[in-house]
Structure 1
Amino acid sequence: MSSHRPFSLRFKVAATMAVAVALPLSLTACGGGGGGSDEGKIVIGTKFDQPGLGMKNPDGTYSGFDVDVATYVAKELGYEPDKIEFKESPSSQRETLIQNGQVDYVVATYSITDARKEKVSFAGPYLVTGQSLLVKADNTDITGKDSLANNKKLCSVSGSTPAQKIKDEFPSVQLQQYDTYSACIEALKNGAIDAVTTDEVILAGYAAQSPGAFKIVGEPFSEENYGIGLKKDDTELQTKINDALTKMEADGAWKAAFEKNLGPAGIPTPAPPAIAKN
């Protein structure tokens, strides 16, 4: 007896496998601003390594201000927490993930800039912060942006606005660019670099994670408006997210999320920013 399956049977098996492979893809990355469907999941991009903002915990859960904002917005779009799939979104990959439809939207310390708006659209902003510097607690050489000369070794993340600002405005600095800020923190711990630069809220989270090890120095030297990134010109989804953010700020959930996640880092709770179409 031949071990080969009849052609018709093999065809049915192949067709079944093709459907099985395609099905999960159709249930994720809803895109198109449809929001609110009871079918499938919503895929949200965030950071996995930023304490206080976007963190994947050892038990597989997610926490942080960005995570809470993303979850609130998803619920307003019709998705309960168990329908959310979080996807890691490193700074250098955020536009690509959105453009390729791998995520529905990104909440990942994502500064709204003109260059990025050429590729994606933004809702928000939902948080305003500024670029700052983190050094070891015993460092006396670096006290702010004016002490960055003399070939100081500075670490930031590829594809980030802080890294670009250092390139543009502080050309004498030796800039090391890693994929994640957590890698920069490790380099700071072992003395491979002199300082880490990114937005103050991000640095504060790392400082709070290692009490007494680091300190933030100087005043912020930029203004960063964090927005929620989504597919370019998807005005329907943009409007729905803006409405959700407006509601979150009005009902006190925004303030509660900030105090829970960033209050322990010693950052005073600011007034929430005005939501504007971006």
Structure 2
Amino acid sequence: MRLNRVLQVGAVVMAAGLALAACGGGSGSGASGDKNLVQRAKDNKKLVIGIKFDQPGLGLKKPDGTYAGFDVDVAKYIAKQLGVEESGITWKEAQSAQREDLIKKGEVDFIVATYSITDKRKNDVSFGGPYFIAHQDLLVRQDNTDITGPESLTGNKKLCSVKGSTPAQNVKTKYAKEVQLQEVGKYTDCVTALLNGTVDAMTTDDVILAGYAAQQPGKLKLVGKGFTDENYGVGVKKDDADGKAAINKAIQAMEQDGSWEKSLQTNVGPSGYKIPAAPAIAP
């Protein structure tokens, strides 16, 4: 009897120890664990941040393995305000169709990736910001003269966009009967298709398209007829009120100390894109 009792107690103690270890391992670093963004950053001094890897001027992974662009600068500024140095950031690619899942599954702490704030997305994640307002536009080959705006997407023209993106949904909703929409994984796939003549145009936000046009001088051009307002937000775990508030505070500080405009001038200005005024933060 006594031996059985000892064995039972030992089993309970071991199970409790395993449960505690499992809980402790979940909050050790990066985006894992149940703590809110502010607490994780404070405790770990590390963050996993989602960005785009293929958007020149915004979020680009360079050949040397470093990252550059306006979104990258915004992400680093927010991290710094949360007490995390650049050396404590792990960058994770956040493709358009994967962003909500990355946040909900805890694979990233937050996302800065030309992420338009929409009511549908608010069902799954929360947003800080907006930190920028872009406008959906079209990119065409330099010699194209018949595509002058969304209303000219007639005659079964082939239009390329990215799966899970707001522009693709806009086209499906408003112009689906007039165009052949081809959805791919990355915007660079659209650029390749546009250059080789597989598609007639590509669509996404003007600030993104301006970067691709700057990469292909004399080959591609921005139509310049923006037809939506896209409010870029910083995606964070749903209902993380403290995290959202901290992100908004960081964005405001970036705008006020001149870092916001300086980053845009450095990363986007060379494309010829007109730098807009900073938007008001949503309540």
The answer to whether TM tops 0.5 is yes
Q: Does structure 1 residue 86 correspond to structure 2 residue 91? A: yes
Q: Is the 1:38–1:79 Cα contact (8 Å) retained in structure 2?
A: no
Residues 78 and 35 of structure 1, relative CA distance in 2, 3 Å threshold: farther
**Superposition CA RMSD, Å:** 1.8
> What TM-score does the superposition give when structure 2 sets the normalisation length?
0.88
Q: Is the 1:43–1:104 Cα contact (8 Å) retained in structure 2?
A: yes
Aligned pairs (5 A) from 1:248-263: 248-263=254-269
Counterpart selection for 2:113 from 108, 116, 119: 108
Alpha-carbon distance, 1:158 to partner = 0.3
Q: Amino acid of the residue matched to residue 87 of structure 2?
A: D
Q: Point out the structure with max Rg over C-alpha.
A: 2
Q: Does structure 1 residue 70 correspond to structure 2 residue 70? A: no
Kindly provide the CA deviation profile for residues 205-233 of structure 1, in whole angstroms up to 9, marking residues without a partner as x: 00111111101114100000000000000
Counterpart selection for 2:64 from 53, 59, 66: 59
Counterpart selection for 1:180 from 182, 186, 189: 186
Q: Amino acid of the residue matched to residue 139 of structure 2?
A: L
Q: Is the 1:153–1:194 Cα contact (8 Å) retained in structure 2?
A: yes
Q: Is the 1:249–1:255 Cα contact (8 Å) retained in structure 2?
A: yes
Q: Is the 1:35–1:77 Cα contact (8 Å) retained in structure 2?
A: no
- Between the aligned partners of 1:24 and 1:65, the Cα distance in structure 2 is 31
Identity of aligned residues (%): 56
- Between the aligned partners of 2:87 and 2:26, the Cα distance in structure 1 is 16
Moved more, 101-110 or 263-272: 263-272
- Between the aligned partners of 1:183 and 1:76, the Cα distance in structure 2 is 35
Q: Any unmatched runs of 5+ in structure 1?
A: 1-18
* Residue number in structure 2 paired with 1:223: 229
Q: Amino acid of the residue matched to residue 50 of structure 1?
A: Q
Kindly provide the CA deviation profile for residues 109-154 of structure 1, in whole angstroms up to 9, marking residues without a partner as x: 0000000001100000000010000000011121111110110100
Alpha-carbon distance, 1:37 to partner = 2.0
Q: Amino acid of the residue matched to residue 110 of structure 1?
A: Y
Residues 38 and 119 of structure 1, relative CA distance in 2, 3 Å threshold: closer
Q: Is the 1:43–1:102 Cα contact (8 Å) retained in structure 2?
A: yes
> What TM-score does the superposition give when structure 1 sets the normalisation length?
0.89
Alpha-carbon distance, 1:25 to partner = 7.4
Q: Amino acid of the residue matched to residue 156 of structure 1?
A: S
- Between the aligned partners of 1:190 and 1:25, the Cα distance in structure 2 is 48
* Residue number in structure 1 paired with 2:29: 27
Q: Any unmatched runs of 5+ in structure 2?
A: 1-20
- Between the aligned partners of 1:263 and 1:126, the Cα distance in structure 2 is 17
Q: Does structure 1 residue 170 correspond to structure 2 residue 175? A: yes
* Residue number in structure 1 paired with 2:280: 274
- Between the aligned partners of 2:226 and 2:262, the Cα distance in structure 1 is 24
Kindly provide the CA deviation profile for residues 153-175 of structure 1, in whole angstroms up to 9, marking residues without a partner as x: 00000000000000000022100
- Between the aligned partners of 2:179 and 2:84, the Cα distance in structure 1 is 45
Q: Amino acid of the residue matched to residue 219 of structure 1?
A: K
